[in-house]
């Protein structure tokens, strides 16, 4: 009987995939297809959760088959991330008139990413205070204890690295190794390698213009091929989101969410508040925030389900260039930098909330201005250096908590709700990345305002 239900579930998935492909054939907008996949994925996952249970043989086997669509799509995106980052960075710089433009763009992008991370930390502090979160109120189980011990072991490795060693880890000693993504700092190392190559070409242009133009032509040709591959992969986005959402909902630990419901609600309240702050910043900068939301929603939908800022880079760049009118070079850099620097959700809100929860258990007054200022500054600094020790919310939390002399093992308390909260955190990270690109393009007077305000650029025709 189990085999029958597994086959039935696979047939249901194939039927939905067929529907999404039919919608594409009929030229239904990309946004509508994405959200159709998202909604049907939630329904399909809820069906598996309710009828069979998250840990049943039927659900486990079914989601294993669904992972062909879910993980397969993510793998295809990851396949193209490193080549895209490298070529796009080189192409962006070689197409600039001078290196000064690159410096201005980079400064704006990084400045916005780090500044918003510090604002996010303040939002996390406020949310923890409003909801009166306290780690001492949460019951510690075996799973949480084991997670805490594992985090403590990871921290040992991080503490062994001095600040100069962390900075050195960014540098691409072997760019070919970094292109395989083997190191924790591979993405930022590839970005730096691309920057070095691009600046070298700018210098070559002054001495040997013909050779520089020949190289630039080759890079532009490779970039065109890479972007074509990106377009082909992005067409599978609705199917990928369908599989990702179905698997996520089907395997979610409902009991864990209920037990830690207060923290989940506080986390999403903070994430929502930061999203609103992003929109306010856009409005203050003279840009229509509602137009921004409509154009980035498909990208946020994928980042929410995939929980991967790196895998979202291709969609991020495409949305910035073709929907928001962001300068190509800025779009490439903001998407790449944003995957490793200043992540509002993972490196801003999450560590700040954990610090506010854990500090009272150590007898620390969390209302003290010195504690709050120190926490926000550390979050700002660590949000730039998280990539140096592996990236992600866990490492950001380890760095911040250890810098504040707080026990990191208590972070293991949140093991059961980590995936659910991480979905929202990743979406906020990616939104901030696109925000930084849009604002940097606006402030450097490189934003195509007509494209930004155009309703024709909402539906995502580039990936139809």
The whole-number pLDDT of residue 160 equals: 56
Q: Would you give the end-to-end CA distance of the chain in angstroms?
A: 40
For 301, the token pair is 């939908």
CB hemisphere CA count around 133 (13 angstroms): 29
The whole-number pLDDT of residue 391 equals: 44
Residue 455 — φ and ψ, nearest 5°? -75, -20
d(CA 19, CA 8): 17
pTM of the complete model: 0.81
Nearest to 114 by CA among 440, 436, 437: 436
The whole-number pLDDT of residue 389 equals: 41
d(CA 62, CA 6): 6
| Assigned architecture for domain 2-463 | Orthogonal Bundle (1.10)
d(CA 313, CA 332): 9
d(CA 190, CA 193): 5
For 244, the token pair is 């990702």
d(CA 259, CA 103): 48
d(CA 464, CA 461): 5
For 42, the token pair is 């939630």
Average pLDDT of each block of 10 consecutive residues along the chain (464 residues)? 90 95 89 88 92 90 93 86 86 73 86 94 94 70 54 56 68 85 75 88 87 89 87 88 89 69 90 97 95 93 85 89 91 86 88 89 88 91 58 71 75 65 90 96 93 75 55
The whole-number pLDDT of residue 392 equals: 62
The whole-number pLDDT of residue 362 equals: 84
């Amino acid at each position: 009987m189990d085999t029958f239900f597994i086959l039935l579930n696979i047939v249901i998935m194939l039927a939905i995939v067929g529907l999404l492909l039919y919608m594409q054939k009929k030229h239904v907008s990309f946004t509508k297809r994405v959200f159709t996949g998202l909604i049907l994925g939630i329904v399909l996952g809820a069906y598996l959760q309710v009828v069979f249970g998250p840990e049943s043989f039927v659900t486990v086997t079914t989601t294993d088959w669904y992972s062909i669509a879910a993980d397969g799509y993510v793998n295809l995106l990851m396949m193209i991330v490193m080549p895209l980052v490298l070529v796009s960075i080189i192409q962006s710089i070689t197409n600039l008139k001078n290196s000064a433009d690159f410096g201005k763009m980079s400064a704006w992008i990084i400045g916005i990413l780090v500044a918003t991370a510090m604002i996010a930390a303040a939002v996390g502090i406020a949310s923890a205070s409003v909801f009166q979160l306290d780690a001492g109120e949460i019951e510690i189980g075996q799973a949480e204890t084991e997670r805490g011990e594992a985090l403590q072991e990871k921290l040992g490795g991080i503490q062994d690295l001095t600040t100069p060693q962390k900075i050195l880890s960014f540098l691409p000693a072997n760019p070919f190794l970094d292109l395989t993504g083997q190191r924790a700092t591979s993405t930022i190392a590839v970005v730096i390698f691309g920057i070095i190559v691009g600046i070298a070409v700018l210098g070559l242009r002054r001495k040997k213009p013909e050779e520089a133009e020949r190289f630039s032509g080759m890079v532009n040709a490779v970039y065109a091929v890479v972007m074509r591959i990106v377009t082909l992969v992005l067409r599978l986005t609705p199917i990928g989101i369908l599989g990702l959402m179905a698997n996520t909902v089907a395997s979610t630990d409902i009991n864990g969410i209920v037990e830690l419901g207060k923290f989940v609600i506080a986390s999403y309240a903070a994430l929502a508040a930061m999203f609103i702050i992003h929109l306010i910043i856009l409005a203050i900068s003279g840009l229509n925030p509602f137009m921004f939301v409509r154009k980035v929603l498909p990208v946020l939908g994928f980042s929410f389900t995939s929980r991967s800022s790196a895998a979202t880079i291709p969609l991020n760049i495409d949305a910035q260039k073709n929907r928001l009118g962001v300068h190509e070079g800025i779009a490439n850099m903001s998407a790449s930098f944003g995957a490793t620097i200043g992540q509002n959700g993972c490196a801003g809100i999450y560590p700040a909330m954990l610090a506010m929860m854990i500090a009272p258990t150590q007898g620390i007054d969390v209302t003290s201005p010195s504690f709050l200022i120190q926490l926000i500054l550390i979050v700002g600094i660590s949000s730039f250096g998280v990539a140096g020790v592996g990236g992600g919310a866990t490492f950001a939390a380890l760095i911040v908590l250890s810098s504040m002399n707080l026990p990191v093992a208590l972070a293991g308390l949140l093991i059961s709700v980590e995936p659910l909260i991480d979905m929202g955190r990743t979406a906020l990270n990616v939104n901030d990345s696109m925000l930084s690109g849009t604002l940097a393009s606006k402030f450097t007077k490189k934003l195509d305002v007509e494209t930004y305000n155009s309703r024709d650029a909402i539906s995502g025709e580039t990936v139809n």
